[in-house]
Amino acid sequence: MSVPPRPVAAIVPAAGSGERLGAGVPKAMALLGGEPVLAHAVRGLVAEPRVGLVVLACPDGLEASMAAVAAEVAGGVPVVAVTGGATRAGSVRRALDVVPETFAVVLVHDAARCLVPMEVVAAVVDAVLDGASAVVPGLPVVDTIRAVDADGRSRTLDRATLRAVQTPQGFPAAVLRRAHGAGDPGATDDAGMVEALGLPVTLVPGHPRAFKVTTPLDLLLAEALVAGQED
Ligand code: C5P
């Protein structure tokens, strides 16, 4: 089997409704600096020269329009769009199904983390190619966090031991396929599914710009950052 010169396939789960953003359109199609959030996310991924395929998981009916948005900024990197699932994990699984076996590395990157800097993407790819079974960018937590039990009792966690996890997360393609085949229903991200297989997860430094656009306040911050870039 020939190894592609660009061995990385990037999956973009973008099938969420974006209700918390309240933009009236799925979050990935909400406008940021005059362009859909999705366009920013795809541009950030293909800035990494080892990315050779982008697979979008889209809300039903938006596959063609989202593929067109992505293709416009993909700089010639092929774009494929599939219909997403009912959950984020379901959307990733459907996208993974169309990634050819020739891609050795798979990134999974939320469309909503649309301003991730290139160095974060590169660090994730590097760590996977160095042999990691799962790689996540993480940032120290600035808030004090309390864990709440079923009875409503809470206790403070040691913040120094916590990291807030971002995307892109990176995996050897075979490991991610195994993890999704096993289908841990409790996992909230792909690295958690790999962890459920008993494999280690490697942390690389995340970046404040890789925050997830979830609420109108996040969109305001993203608008300011994009406007600043254009100066
Ligand atoms: O809802 P949340 O912000 O955690 O979603 C994270 C990412 O997963 C978003 O980019 C969203 O579009 C995507 N997603 C998906 N399919 C779903 C739910 C969420 O692709 N069913």
What are 132-152's pLDDT values in tens digits? 999 999 999 999 999 999 999
- The number of the ligand 1 atom at minimal distance from the alpha carbon of 57 is 20
Instruction: List ligand 1's pocket residues with C-beta within 6 A.
Output: 13-16, 27-28, 57, 84-88, 91, 110-112, 212, 214
DSSP track, 148-202: E-TTS-EEE--GGG-EEE-S-EEEEHHHHHHHHHHT-TT-SSHHHHHHTTT---E
Domain count, the chain: 1
What confidence tens digit (pLDDT) does each residue in 53-76 have?
A: 999 999 999 999 999 999 999 999
pLDDT at 3: 57
Ligand 1: which of 88, 180, 218 to mutate, judged by most atoms within 8 Å of the beta carbon? Answer: 88
Q: How far is the CA of 126 from the centre of ligand 1 (A)?
A: 25
Distance CA 229, CA 231 (A): 6
The pLDDT assigned to 186 comes to 73
Range of the domain at 46: 8-230
Which run of H or E residues covers position 215? none
Q: Residue 24: its pLDDT value, please?
A: 80
- pLDDT the model gives residue 1: 52
pLDDT of 2 above 60:
no
Residue 61 CB contacts under 8 Å (≥ 6 apart), including other chains: none
Whether 93 is in a domain gets the answer yes
Residue 67 lies in a domain: yes
Residue 222, φ and ψ in degrees, nearest 5: -60, -40
> Using one digit for the tens of pLDDT, what is the confidence trace for 6-37?
999 999 999 987 778 877 888 999 999 999 99
Considering only CA atoms, which residue is closest to atom 19 of ligand 1?
A: 16
Q: How far is the CA of 2 from the centre of ligand 1 (A)?
A: 33
Q: Does any domain span residue 3?
A: no
Taking the centre of ligand 1 as the mean of its atom positions, its distance from the CA of residue 139, in whole angstroms, is 20
Is the pLDDT score of 231 beyond 70? no
Q: 195 pLDDT exceeds 60?
A: yes
Q: Is residue 194 part of a domain?
A: yes
**189 and 165 Cβ atoms separated by less than 8 Å:** yes
What are 156-192's pLDDT values in tens digits? 999 999 999 999 999 999 999 999 998 776 778 999 9
Q: Answer whether residue 114 is part of any domain.
A: yes
CATH number at residue 93: 3.90.550.10
Determine, yes or no, domain membership for 220: yes
pLDDT, tens digit, 9 for 90 and up, residues 82-135: 999 999 999 999 999 999 999 999 999 999 999 999 999 999 999 999 999 999
121, 44 in Cβ contact below 8 A? Answer: yes
Give the torsion sign (CA, 131, 13, 64, 214).
negative
Can you give the pTM of this predicted structure?
0.95
Closest residue CA from atom 1 of ligand 1: 16
Does 173 reside within a domain? yes
94 Cα: distance to centroid of ligand 1 (angstroms): 13
Helix, strand, coil distribution of the chain in percent, nearest 5: 35, 20, 45
**Structural domain includes residue 125:** yes
